[in-house]
Amino acid sequence: MKESLRSRRFVVFDLETTGLDPARHEIIEIGAVRVNQDADVDDTFQALVKPRKRIPKAITEMTGISQRMVNQEGRSLRSAMEELCAFIEDLPLVSFNAEFDMAFLRNAAKGQNMVIRNPASCALKMARRAWPGRTSYQLGDLAKDRKLSDEGTHRALGDCKRTVLIYAAALSRVGLRRK
């Protein structure tokens, strides 16, 4: 039996980080969108986070997030995580590369004496099932093929909005099966 995307509420989230290792690198931006039963974006969350170490130049070049930005507009990881936890509640989470993002999210939560127990789904894995044989499964390439805006690429909230659309399209192509 297929379950409609419309019958589920979930949160798509994305993180921008100072590197690839959740044990060594830090979150510098969190974005999330809550998707309602009509598969529409219901609400959004975005926070810049002040890292303990300086943001590498390559990360600033890729994301546009500078040390100055996080110094002026960033909040503590604790504050951002508390607000994120209130935003996501106990809803299922979706991320474009869930293994990567969940590792950072759980590591950050642990460091703040918090626990994230929300179930997580991977939009990247769903895209691979929906469109097998592609040469690229990068979010930007999937979005470009679907003629989605590239505004806010490599920024957490912009990538969340693209992920919602890619995930919804992949689900409707593959179908979401009940367990």
Give pTM, 2 decimals.
Answer: 0.89
Give the Cα separation of 43 and 79 in Å (integer).
19
- Tell me, what's the pLDDT at 11? 97
The answer to whether residue 177 is domain-embedded is: no
Split into its structural domains, the chain has a count of 1
In sequence order, the β-bridge partners of residue 119 are: none
pLDDT for the residue numbered 78? 97
Mean pLDDT on 91-106: 97
The answer to whether residue 61 sits within a structural domain is yes
Q: What CATH number does the domain containing 41 carry?
A: 3.30.420.10
pLDDT of residue 40: 73
Cβ–Cβ < 8 Å for 25, 18: yes
Two structure tokens written together for 122: 């991977």
In a domain, 84, yes or no: yes
- Residues 25-52: what's their mean pLDDT? 91
| Confidence check: pLDDT of 154 > 60 | yes
For residue 147, being part of any structural domain is answered with no
pLDDT in tens, 52-72: 999 999 999 999 999 999 999
The answer to whether residue 130 sits within a structural domain is no
Residue type for position 20 = L
Is residue 2 predicted with pLDDT exceeding 90?
no
pLDDT at res. 144: 87
33 HSE (CA, 13 A, CB side)? 20
Question: How far is the C-alpha of 55 from the C-alpha of 41, rounded, in Å?
Answer: 30
- Is 86 a member of any domain? yes
Question: What is the model's pLDDT at position 84?
Answer: 98
151 within domain boundaries: no
User: Which tokens in the block code for residue 29?
Assistant: 């931006």
- Cα–Cα distance between 100 and 22 in angstroms, integer? 8
Domain, as residue range, for 46: 2-122
Distances (CA, A) of 159 to 14, 112, 167: 7, 25, 12
**Residues 131-152 pLDDT 10s:** 999 999 999 999 988 887 777 6
Would you say residue 135 lies in a domain? Answer: no
Average pLDDT over residues 159-165: 93
